[in-house]
Chains A and B, each alone.
Chain A
Amino acid sequence: MLSIKNLKANIEDKEILKGLNLEINPGEVHAIMGPNGSGKSTLASVLAGREEYNVTEGEVIFNGENILEMAPEDRARKGIFLAFQYPIEIPGVSNANFMKTAVNEVRKSKGLAPLDSKEFLKLMREKMQLVQVDKTMTQRSVNEGFSGGEKKRNEIFQMAMLEPELGVLDETDSGLDIDALRIVADGVNALRDGKRSFIVITHYQRLLDYIVPDFVHVLYKGRIVKSGTKELALELEEKGYDWIKEEVEI
């Protein structure tokens, strides 16, 4: 469903991604790990279509279409969801209102009629239960005054609402204590249905205890330098990244 070929991207003339390749099939969970500055978050931003990043080479094919020419909202409507590392606050706009706008935009792009208030509330209730968020969260302004954990849970809740084909989690575990981490991971697991795919970007193996990946990739200096299964994550946890760096430098 997603095929990234020789992707090169820079920001302010500094090349970050230097020929990245990745293939993801429906239902797979791919973890992307790597030391600071290796390009993990850049990958997430480029997939979502952040303007500051310039793609200089390569292609990203999502369900048969090259998405690199698409506006961010069109990518979202086609089913790419990014859970932000630092979710943004929108004062005065309730989460429910925000989600209703978003859900109906996505529906419109698929030629579906918008949900009326009753249908929307029903959907929201269902999804709140699925990812364990309480009612008050949907009535509060988007991320305003949310704790770190609440913000991340809200991202997962939004993902549940929008039902994307591909969820990209950008360091969703950063800043979470173990309980919050478990709740977030449970939410993600609840959304695994054998068809939906995930890219889980993380520093730490810890998250992968809860969201068990099918594949683990190591990103270093803008390229995937090593791929394996979940055991690779454990090895990285134990030995750090130095041995990989050495392998690459040789």
Chain B
Amino acid sequence: MSEDLKIIDEVTGSDYKWGFVSNIEADTAPKGLNEDIIRFISAKKNEPQWMLDFRLKAFNQWKKMEEPSWAHVSYPEIDFQDIIYYSAPKPKKTLNSLDELDPEVKATFDKLGISLEEQKRLSGVAVDAVIDSVSVKTTFRDELAKLGIIFCSFSEAVREHPDLVKKYMGSVVPYTDNYYAALNSAVFSDGSFCYIPKGVRCPMELSTYFRINSAGTGQFERTLIIADEGAYASYLEGCTAPQRDENQLHAAVVEIYAHKDAQVKYSTVQNWYPGDKNGKGGVYNFVTKRGLCAGERAKISWTQVETGSAITWKYPSVILKGDHSVGEFYSVAVTNNMQQADTGTKMIHIGKNTSSTIVSKGISGGKSNNSYRGLVRIGKNALNARNFSQCDSLLLGDKCGAHTFPYIECSNPTAKVEHEATTSKVGEDQIFYCNQRGISTEDAVGLIVNGYCREVFNQLPMEFAVEAQKLLAVSLEGSVG
């Protein structure tokens, strides 16, 4: 409870709080995209031939594909030749301890409020921080290694665990999947890799922080999480970016592979720079996230709080292949000013007795547009599949838009699919009631909106829930006229 108050106290006329630029010397590729750039990235990372081959195949596929246009968003055409595809902070020598970390990098984390040391000491969160394209440091590795858990940067995994990477990379999101997934597969520069062995319950929250720092850089990270039989992991991802006039592109791929009886919980708090009030600048967030419940009784949960980005295009999905497997999607998507979000999920039921839950809370303020887009597909062999979807939209003011595009494809008559949707406005009555108790209108909106999102926040790990509430309050400043 005292956290709530701190949050309210902190909401004092701020713009984008994370809009600082770090002067870290960067090792940067020339602009543009061609085979040479891909070879450059691969060479920079000392990759084996098979990895380069994968990239080149993906690149050739990408060239044949077209940018998707079905989403309910609009933006000027992206010039893919005007983007820097690789930018690593220098120096890039191997670090043995946190003390060796570039002080600027460390200062950046401090500003973000995620001092690695703090995190390490106090909260027991293992952090893999990705600035621009390179994974800077993974903490807690040794401790995790004792349990057989591998948590490292993607490039390290390519070098040290090639069998695992070869086996699972692209198994959930193939490079042919969609335009941005193909692009990512061709140019991804780093990301996180995580493997939880059979029967191991990961004792701490695994966390990755992404931050786009260099101007005109695309961030193409790739995350692969594998939970072997009966394993459990909770994974947190946080994102911020400095304030810039131009649009920055972020096209990530996240793959989760859950074996029999495995459970993975993936939580995201996304706070990329949303652009200014007039819609100038901001991050284009085109992300492909998908989990595969490969074995029986596997469970994958996505929880996301999306407050940032100029454009969000993101559908964390679950393929329910194993019998009795479970997929969950809890989402809060906030748009303000000129932001656009088209986000939702896909639940693909293949196995018998599979079940999925979707809870989506959209909040629109300013002149923003917020769309929920979801697909529930019940395959013909998915006996007794269950889905429950709840999509709520909350409007602040009368210049914003909320849209819902639910798709249901059902090929099995034993399935039970439920969909509920509501649209509401923050009521004048509610605000006045708060006012009459001494609460200002701005704080009242924060309180009401947080209440509205509680179902989703309850799914987040504690520290993240607090951060999410803060973000929400900041994002909604000035959203009610």
Contacts and interface: CB of A to CB of B under 8 A. Distances in A.
A247 interface: no
B439 A105 contact: yes
Interface string A74-116: 0011000110100111111100111111101110010000101
B437 A90 contact: no
B435 A101 contact: no
B430 interface: yes
A105 B452 contact: no
A49 B4 CA distance: 27
Contacts of A93: 447-448, 450-451, 454
Contact of B451 (A48, A72, A141): A141
B430 A90 contact: yes
A97 B4 contact: yes
Given A105-B438, A105-B443, A109-B438, A88 B433 contact: yes
Nearest to A168: B436
Given A90-B448, A90-B451, A102 B437 contact: yes
Contacts of B432: 48, 50-51, 72, 88
A190 B435 CA distance: 25
A97 B430 contact: no
Contact of B435 (A73, A81, A90, A114): A73
A71 B437 CA distance: 12
Contact of B436 (A72, A104, A120): A72
B5 A76 contact: no
Contact of A97 (B1, B436, B438, B441): B1
Interface residues of B, number: 28
B47 interface: no
B22 interface: no
Interface residues of A, number: 37
A48 to B, nearest CB: 5
A101 B11 CA distance: 14
A92 B435 CA distance: 18
A93 to B, nearest CB: 4
Contacts of B453: 92
B77 interface: no
> Which of A76, A99, A120 counts the most chain B CB atoms within 10 A?
A76
B8 interface: yes
B438 A102 contact: yes
Q: Which 9 A-B pairs have the closest CB atoms?
A: A92-B451, A93-B451, A72-B435, A92-B454, A102-B437, A88-B433, A76-B438, A105-B438, A106-B438
Interface of B: 1-2, 4-5, 8, 427-430, 432-441, 443, 447-448, 450-455
